Chains A and B, each alone.
Chain A
């Protein structure tokens, strides 16, 4: 199971503030994790990626294992520690004032 933590705005959308445990079929990548998230919570469609271009939103970041993976290919395998559930895959709203 992949452990995922969402930013506060998206936790509000799904009415669940806890760490999520997701089953991801096939290769575990940014794309397959977000696909699994959107399948389980359709309200998240368009919030992490643009619904048309499928590009990560500019102010969304992907962190894991104390690394910023945001600029990795969406189809690159995520670290083994994420795949095994040892580490959390963080979806983060970039810090900005206000």
Chain B
């Protein structure tokens, strides 16, 4: 019988939520690694029982954990993330040169074909890879050594590489996004990278149309159309139909186009979800109403999804890695909030129910669809 496993990273531990394919009754396991910030957990597409997790605190640094039994038990793996060569500098907030310093792993992207291979996006922005199940990590330094690397500057949340998308058609084509540098693409497995930010416009940077420097919050794609990308930028919701070569705005009738998450329906590549957040200084939903917006037209025309979501006095945020979809026939959509709720919809967003209401602030949500 089919089922789903929801992997939730929070500011004070990890939780594993499971249900059968009906997605009505849930079992909550955790906290795992209590007291630690769990930025991201993600399972291998080819071996769902293999799950990787990023565990850190500002006090005691970075650990990496691996489970081989679907999140029941965990074991630490390698946690050395050493930049390749002499790391050099990037720009600090005040524009002065600042040495590249590893802070934490933000995002893990297991290979589509090999359970021992995982990409890791880290702060200060760089891409690492393991090919031995997490025992050792090596930087794919071609990204950081692009012409613009020394000019990258952190956003308010730090200079993080937070999104990694591997093309299902071509594993050598990878998209990544950095706050606040923008989107980059490699077509040779990570050796060389090109900025892919044409069409983005950002207030708050000296040249609003610059090749790099945009605060991209999240990008997403549908596996059947790997050249079509959707983006939630600091402000603006965007799409590209040419693998990032150019972008057009699709914010349309959204109440605000600021936000963090964006995701695509598992079976409808033109159905997209965002959670509008009031503004860059007001990180909660407009009017205290938590609304997911869905476009079934690939953007521009958006409808609010409110059934089951709080429509008064709701002042939570939904962070960039905290939305995911399952692949069951009726697509499930999930997101977590800084108030500790994890909401699930088993009907593509038409209605929502909380799986849990009182976790620590949710940093990430991933979903595994189990056979």
Question: Which residues of A are in contact with B by a Cβ distance under 8 Å?
Answer: 7-10, 12-13, 42-43, 45-48, 50-52, 57, 59-60, 93-94, 96
> In the complex, how many angstroms separate the beta carbon of B102 from the nearest chain A beta carbon?
8
Chain A residue nearest to B82 (CB atoms) is A52
| Chain A contacts for B79, CB-based, 8 A | 45-46, 51
Which of A42, A46, A60 interacts with B80 by CB under 8 Å?
A: A46
Residues in chain B within 8 A of chain A (CB atoms): 33-36, 57-63, 76, 79-80, 82
Interface majority SS on B: helix, strand, loop or mixed? loop
CB atoms of B60 and A93 under 8 A apart:
yes
Which of A12, A42, A52, A60 is close to B34, meaning CB atoms less than 8 Å apart? A12
A52 contacts which of B59, B76, B80 (Cβ < 8 Å)?
Answer: B80
- Separation of A61 and B321 alpha carbons in the complex (Å): 33
Contact of B63 among A7, A13, A50 (CB under 8 A): A13
Q: Which residues of B contact A48 (CB under 8 A)?
A: 60
- Please tell me if the beta carbons of B63 and A8 are within 8 angstroms of each other in the complex: no
Q: Which 5 A-B pairs have the closest CB atoms?
A: A47-B60, A59-B59, A93-B59, A43-B76, A51-B80
The answer to whether A12 touches B59 (Cβ under 8 A) is no
**Least CB distance, B187 to chain A, in whole angstroms:** 31
| A43 to B63 alpha-carbon distance, docked (Å) | 8
Q: Do residues A10 and B80 form an inter-chain contact, with CB atoms below 8 A?
A: no
Quick one: which of A9, A42, A52, A96 contacts B60, CB cutoff 8 A? Answer: A9
Q: By the criterion CB–CB under 8 Å, are B63 and A47 in contact?
A: yes
Chain A proximity of B62: nearest CB distance (Å): 7
Q: Which residues of B contact A13 (CB under 8 A)?
A: 63, 76
Instruction: Say whether B36 contacts A50, CB under 8 Å.
Output: no
Residues of A contacting B33 in the complex (Cβ-Cβ under 8 angstroms)? 12
CB distance from A46 to the nearest CB of B (A): 5
Sample of 16 further A-B pairs with CB below 8 A, known A12-B34, A47-B60: A7-B59, A9-B36, A9-B57, A10-B60, A13-B63, A43-B63, A46-B61, A48-B60, A51-B79, A52-B80, A59-B60, A60-B59, A60-B60, A93-B59, A93-B60, A96-B58
